[in-house]
């Protein structure tokens, strides 16, 4: 739930709401006060504004989360900007002053951090973009650990493109190889990080579609080739998959034991139905919270390999891919 | 095996590779041609052997070899060694060798040995250096598209310098498994530790202690040279009459380590209480 104000504005606009602090506060209050959410969710990534917000009754959001058994986390990157000298690719900013900010976030109650950079297959990716992505993540991770925050390491390989799943696998292997190399060069402790990878799937515009079992096979192959077993947890991003697709793929990956815990860190794939159910209406808060629990529980079962798609709503099956998606 | 051995036969004329195959032992071949000093470093070495390697691999495969081995050596001390030059040079050699071996049907054993040497450097220092070396090795293996499911790793166990008292098997196991978990992707099927300068008994006890950390994604087992042959050689001493006794010692040592890699070694050791088995780094290339 770490959408920046601009991105949160897009979510609110999709249900006809203005992008005001009050609306952002109302939406986030809906999420963090969902009863029983802690049964399925162990951490919540917040945007800076949200980390310092409270409920209307005056209770800090971080306290709501902690009481629910949910660790508060903080998005610390400062977004993507064009990468000079590249093939129209991006790099992620946020290292300036990061140590001091991290220390402040820790004081406010955050216990983990997140930094999302992206790699684009239609644009290459160029070696420059891959090395920059890995280096930025590695510096961020080292600074986070230095300041008591567990870094979530997220190099998202964007879904955009017509490439097939074999191409995605090759790019993912290159990216993760570089990421772990740079993490090691920066003396990051692997037992104290979490990964947030994209699953290995065909590009959004690729004509050859594949089953969840194939996604699982390719994704696990990539992870086994690139992720040291010392890393305790791998929490997948949803990246534009439909809510049901994201859950089915996660379930397929948990049909046999893995060296690391394989789970989820979903934003769109948890919130899509929630937003549409709420629509900004205070009387729909309870129904929206119920919708959130349904998705959270489904994914909770999926990371145990015990999910079944029977009874899922049509809304939950709708894809959420947006070409050239920017946060 | 060394190249000469791959082409040798018993006195009765049976090829060594056939004797091994009949026993269910896969013949492998050392393909590096030895160590050379890297100029401008403090006694650090590069491993040679890439020239003509593809053709040699083909010949070895025809003779019956099914896996290969290349030993890279990294010197370690408290602060300067290994240098980044030595790390990059040795990682590169291993990666190119592994790629060529796979292209020619041989499973490469990848051996980045952080070597047990003089000094009082700590076990933590060796662990740190081993992680760094492994990180570079895997980065280059990936760069050269080596299939990780088709290699074996032959690393050192994590030990402090020779001037530090020998650590307990539990301490060695703790640091060694931690280093492997931090460095080695799950796709690699097996980790076969080298014995380096460990005594024969030390090599068995340490191997046993590793198994307490199982199950692991890769097997934690052995590829011992000195720790299987040191007392074996002494018993033989070139005497025909000691041949059988030497063979019995070899089998006893192999059995002890075989049990240890299953976590089932109970002792007593065939060769108890021995000293470290040290050998100087030989430079100037092999094949002589």
Render each residue's pLDDT in chain B as its tens digit; 288 residues: 999 999 999 999 999 999 999 999 999 999 999 999 999 999 999 999 999 999 999 999 999 999 999 999 999 999 999 999 999 999 999 999 999 999 999 999 999 999 999 999 999 999 999 999 999 999 999 999 999 999 999 999 999 999 999 999 999 999 999 999 999 999 999 999 999 999 999 999 999 999 999 899 999 999 999 999 999 999 999 999 999 999 999 999 999 999 999 999 999 999 999 899 998 888 876 554
Tens digits of per-residue pLDDT, B81-137? Answer: 999 999 999 999 999 999 999 999 999 999 999 999 999 999 999 999 999 999 999
| B132·A180 Cβ contact <8 A | no
| A230·B216 Cβ contact <8 A | no
Burial of B215 (0-12, 13-18, 19+ CB in 10 A): exposed
Looking at residue B281, its pLDDT comes to: 80
CA angle A29, A31, A32 (to 5 degrees): 70
Looking at residue B288, its pLDDT comes to: 44
- For residues B209 and A297, give the distance between their C-alpha atoms in angstroms, rounded to a whole number: 41
Looking at residue A324, its pLDDT comes to: 65
Tens digits of per-residue pLDDT, A29-81? Answer: 999 999 999 999 999 999 999 999 999 999 999 999 999 999 999 999 999 99
Extended beta strands in chain A, E state: 43-46, 71-75, 80-82, 90-92, 112-119, 150-157, 194-195, 233-236, 261-264
Give the rounded percent of residues in chain B with a pLDDT score beyond 70.
99
CB of A273 closer than 8 Å to CB of A281: no
At A2, the pLDDT band (50, 70, 90 cuts) reads very high
CB contacts of B135 in chain A (<8 Å) are: 180-181, 184-185
User: What Cα–Cα distance (Å) separates residue B287 from each residue in A228, B31, B35, B131, B281?
Assistant: 37, 10, 11, 31, 15
At A313, the pLDDT band (50, 70, 90 cuts) reads confident
Minimum-distance CB partner of A184 among B131, B148, B216: B131
Tens digits of per-residue pLDDT, B76-87? Answer: 999 999 999 999
Interface predicted TM-score (ipTM) of this complex, two decimals: 0.89
B185 touching A (Cβ < 8 Å): yes
CB contacts of A185 in chain B (<8 Å) are: 135
Tens digits of per-residue pLDDT, A279-299? Answer: 999 999 999 999 999 999 999
- For residues A312 and A306, give the distance between their C-alpha atoms in angstroms, rounded to a whole number: 15
């Amino acid at each position: 739930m770490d959408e920046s104000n601009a991105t949160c504005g897009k979510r609110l606009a999709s249900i006809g709401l203005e992008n005001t602090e009050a609306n952002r506060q109302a939406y986030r209050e809906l999420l963090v006060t969902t009863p029983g959410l802690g049964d399925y969710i162990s951490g919540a990534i917040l945007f800076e504004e949200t980390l310092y917000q409270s409920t209307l009754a005056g209770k800090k959001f971080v306290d709501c989360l902690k009481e629910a058994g949910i660790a508060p986390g903080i998005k610390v990157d400062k977004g993507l900007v064009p990468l000079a000298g590249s093939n129209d690719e991006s790099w992620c900013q946020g290292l300036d002053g990061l140590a001091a900010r991290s220390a402040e976030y820790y004081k406010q109650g955050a216990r983990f951090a997140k930094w999302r950079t992206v790699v684009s297959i239609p644009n290459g990716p160029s070696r420059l973009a891959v090395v920059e992505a890995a280096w930025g993540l590695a510096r961020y991770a080292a600074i986070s650990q230095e300041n008591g925050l567990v870094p979530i390491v997220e190099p998202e390989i964007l879904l955009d493109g017509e490439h097939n799943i074999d191409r995605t696998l090759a790019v993912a292997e290159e990216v993760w190889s570089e990421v772990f190399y740079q993490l090691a060069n920066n003396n990051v402790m692997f037992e104290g990080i979490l990964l947030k990878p994209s699953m290995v799937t065909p590009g959004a515009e690729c004509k050859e579609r594949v089953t969840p079992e194939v996604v699982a096979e390719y994704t696990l192959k990539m992870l086994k080739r690139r992720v040291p077993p010392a890393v305790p947890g791998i929490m997948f991003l949803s990246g534009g998959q439909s809510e049901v697709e994201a859950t089915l793929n996660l379930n397929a990956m948990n049909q046999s034991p893995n060296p690391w815990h394989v789970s989820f860190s979903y934003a769109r794939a948890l919130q899509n139905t929630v937003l549409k159910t709420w629509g900004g209406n205070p009387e729909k808060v309870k129904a929206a919270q119920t919708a959130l629990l349904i998705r959270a529980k489904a994914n909770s079962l999926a990371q145990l390999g015990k999910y079944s798609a029977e009874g899922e709503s049509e809304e939950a099956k709708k894809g959420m891919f947006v070409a050239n998606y920017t946060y | 095996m060394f190249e000469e051995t791959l082409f040798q036969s018993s006195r009765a004329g049976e090829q060594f590779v056939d004797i091994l195959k009949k026993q269910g032992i896969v013949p492998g071949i050392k393909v590096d041609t030895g160590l050379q000093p890297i100029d401008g470093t403090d006694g650090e070495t590069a491993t040679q052997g890439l020239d003509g390697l593809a053709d040699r691999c083909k010949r070895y495969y025809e003779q019956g070899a099914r896996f290969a081995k290349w030993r890279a050596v990294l010197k370690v001390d408290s602060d300067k060694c290994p240098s980044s030059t030595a790390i990059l040079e040795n990682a590169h050699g291993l990666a190119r060798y592994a790629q060529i071996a796979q292209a020619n049907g041989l499973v490469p054993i990848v051996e980045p040995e952080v070597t047990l040497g003089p000094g009082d450097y700590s076990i933590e220092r060796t662990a740190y250096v081993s992680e760094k070396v492994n990180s570079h090795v895997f980065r280059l293996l990936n760069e050269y598209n080596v299939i990780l499911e088709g290699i074996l790793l032959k690393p050192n166990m994590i030990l402090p310098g020779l001037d530090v008292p020998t650590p307990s098997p539990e301490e060695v196991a703790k640091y060694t498994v931690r280093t492997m978990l931090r460095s080695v992707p799950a796709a690699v099927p097996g980790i076969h530790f080298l014995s380096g300068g460990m005594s024969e008994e030390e090599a068995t006890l340490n191997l046993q202690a590793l198994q307490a950390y199982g199950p692991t994604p890769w097997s934690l087992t052995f590829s011992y040279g000195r720790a299987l042959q040191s007392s074996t050689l002494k018993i033989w001493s070139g005497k025909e009459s000691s041949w059988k006794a030497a063979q019995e010692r070899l089998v006893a040592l192999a059995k002890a380590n075989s049990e240890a890699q299953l976590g089932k070694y109970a002792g007593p050791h065939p060769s108890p209480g021995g000293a470290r088995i040290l050998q100087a780094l030989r430079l100037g290339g092999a094949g002589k």
